[in-house]
Structure 1
């Protein structure tokens, strides 16, 4: 498993480096170079992730039936092609088309990579391996963000085009790295509905709960920066310090936290504790607006992000174990594709929801958001038990049908 893990990690690191450069520069490229409005960019990206969310399950099913390595390679190449196509965009309609292609390829690639991981790694080690990949991803994002920062400093069309070229080359490189992995045979065709995950109500509930928890992503990337700029006395550079703390925390501690999760009981407990810690983080963020001292506000914000990182680590470790364990071995692709729609939905709906909630309601909004995290965390253990009971009766039902 050692060589496979190193190869998976290398592919994740290369792809996320391109992602990091793209994420910090894309908005300014589309508005400043292409000439679209911020509203057009927001609508286009929202539509792109919406289409990607719909495509995740069928592309994951394709990975199950055709083999996850080949599908992952093709989708990495498709992502590279989509990124390169942004160079040709000059108006809103083609931008939407490319954004949809990008969102589809990215969501499908995530599902195929999870299916590939499940095919190469024994169940007992999947969460730990997934944690190692997450650490590599955050490291790559940090490196890519630094490259993107250089382009922002130059602020020229050529610099932004160079970022797109780097991003496309990174996904091309990731595809080549994935080819070094052994092929995982396609799952055998079994009786029952083709997209069984769409009828698995317990798994849908678990996915919904995880989606609520994933609202920490737009909270950290959008709401906290807006809160710092508009409601606190902290200097604006605090945003960079907080994001650096978050990235470093995931890189350094994700694997350690994941090692403590050994089965569904540990995973459920981990998500429940994540909800409690996220509630505490929201309370601390709310306190950061009190007073006029920049240093005090900065210290409170750092404490809030430290709590958020702990919650993120606990959530990720528990959610990975739950998503893999509750999925049938022959349907990991479609199940991971469905579970991954939570990320797309949080990115798509979270900004508008949290902006209204926190920036509109202030301290009360922070507390409401924290209670949402707490409620989702508390709801996960019974939802997992329900899903586990459904898995326990499935073999009996199938046997009865066959006889």
Structure 2
């Protein structure tokens, strides 16, 4: 299985992948059921549920850069382990949340620790990935997709049971996955902080204009992840005659393609210029895929399903190129001694994109219809076309490789 690429060689890379799988398994299941837990068990009205989750998300976004800087200066493994333990405790505290404030605080601490953990994990991925960071990161993305799929299935069972005991049991299991991830990560060697350059500080990444431009463009492109999981299911139900079960087929096509093809796609994407060109191709693929999906409106059910399957496949090819290019640039543009801080800023961009995505896709793709799909695809094209120029700008102040 190692020879076929299904498993990594024994060592830090395998432990990072296994720990990430366990962590994502519980997180995916929990996030899918958290709103229902607040509604059914805590007894909050839907408005307070949305507000509590929104505030928690904003708090989480703010934690990444400073905690990433701490990981750079104190060592990433220890900081990451602390964030896992905090998440375990904060998730369990939801069992004792009986008010809006208690629910919001528990979720805010959980999101804060989660974002902090992502920033602390970044330096480990970069340093243990060695010369094969894009390939290693692609493997991590594939395993995360698998974990999310299994987590969603588990959440589906809990939602079907729809009982307080089931929701509480899932919370306990999620807490255990944080502890399990920490146990796996204890076997990862400790990394000593790298010497910082003169003038380096905790705001270095935020002052790096080329990197901030990359984060902005890349954040726009990461909205593509919500096209298949958010916009497409609603498009199928509200604007096409395709059977509703097709949404499951679309998600399956997307998941299988990512799991099977992500590592292969990343093999030739090494160096800043190559990654920039891959991102440019991704933007064009998103436009084509979204245009194909949009044409399903007005077609007979079977034809609409067939056309959207093709559109989802094209869109997923774009997501493969984008993910490979994004991960290469994320680490390539960041100085070695500040990978944690830069990972925190990168996470800030991704978090903002996921905050904006539902409203933006809802307005363009669902309210505007076919023209909106084309407008959103054009936004992806513009971001992709701009990326190589940003990479060349960044190359004026750092080494980018090929």
TM class by smaller structure: over 0.9
1:218 aligns with 2:234: no
- 1:89 counterpart residue number: 97
TM-superposition CA deviations, 1:270-318 (whole Å, max 9, x none): 1000000001111112112122x22112112212211121111111100
Contact 1:16–1:141 at 8 Å: present in 2 too? yes
Are the equivalent residues in 1 in contact too, given 2:225–2:319 (CA < 8 A)?
Answer: no
**1:68 Cα deviation (Å)?**
0.5
In structure 2, the partner of 1:371 is 378
Counterpart of 2:343 (choices 336, 350, 355) is: 336
1:384 aligns with 2:391: yes
Given the alignment of the two structures, is residue 252 of structure 1 paired with residue 280 of structure 2, yes or no?
Answer: no
Q: For residues 245 and 226 of structure 2, what CA distance do their matches in structure 1 show?
A: 19
Q: Are the structure 2 counterparts of residues 247 and 38 from structure 1 closer, same or farther at C-alpha, using a change threshold of 3 Å?
A: farther
Corresponding residue to 2:39 among 21, 31, 53: 31
Q: In structure 2, how many angstroms separate the alpha carbons of the residues matched to 1:34 and 1:131? A: 38
Task: Provide the C-alpha distance between the structure 2 equivalents of 1:237 and 1:24, rounded to a whole number of angstroms.
Answer: 19
**Cα deviation code 1:246-285 (max 9, x no counterpart):** 2221111111111121211211111000000001111112
- What secondary structure sits across from 2:242 in the alignment? coil
Q: What is the alpha-carbon distance in structure 2 between the residues aligned to residue 364 and residue 44 of structure 1?
A: 34
Q: How does 1:147-296 map to 2 (within 5 A)?
A: 147-194=154-201, 195-291=203-299, 293-296=300-303
Q: Give the deviation of 1:45 after TM superposition.
A: 1.8
Is this contact kept in 2: 1:218–1:346, CA < 8 A? Answer: no
Cα distance, 1:392 vs. partner? 5.5
| Cα distance in 1 between the residues matched to 2:44 and 2:225 | 25
RMSD of aligned alpha carbons: 1.6
**Larger helix fraction of residues:** 1
Q: Is the 8 A contact 1:217 1:346 kept in 2?
A: no
1:263 and 1:321 in contact (8 A); partners too? yes
Instruction: State TM-score, norm by structure 2.
Output: 0.94
What corresponds to 2:6 in structure 1? none
Query: Are the aligned partners of 1:56 and 1:340 in contact in 2 as well (CA < 8 Å)?
Result: yes
124-133 or 202-211, larger mean C-alpha shift: 124-133
1:215-257 deviations in Å (ceiling 9; x for gaps): 1123222221111111111222222221222222111111111
Structure 2: tracts of 5 or more residues without a match = 1-8
Post-superposition offset of 1:91: 2.3
| Stretch moving more, 3-12 or 217-226 | 217-226
TM-score (ref. length: structure 1): 0.93
Which deviates more, 174-183 or 96-105?
96-105
Distance of 1:220 and 1:163 partners within structure 2: 26
Structure 1 gaps of 5+ residues are 394-403
Deviation at 1:378, TM superposition (A): 0.3
Instruction: Give the distance between the partners of 1:143 and 1:296, measured in 2 at CA.
Output: 30
Kept in 1, the 8 Å contact 2:334–2:342? The answer is yes
Per the TM alignment, residue 35 of structure 1 is displaced from its structure 2 partner at its CA by 2.1
CA deviation profile, 1:159-214 (whole Å, cap 9, x unmatched): 11111111111111001111110000022344214121111011000000000001
Per-residue deviation at 1:34?
Answer: 2.0
The size of the alignment, in residue pairs, is: 391
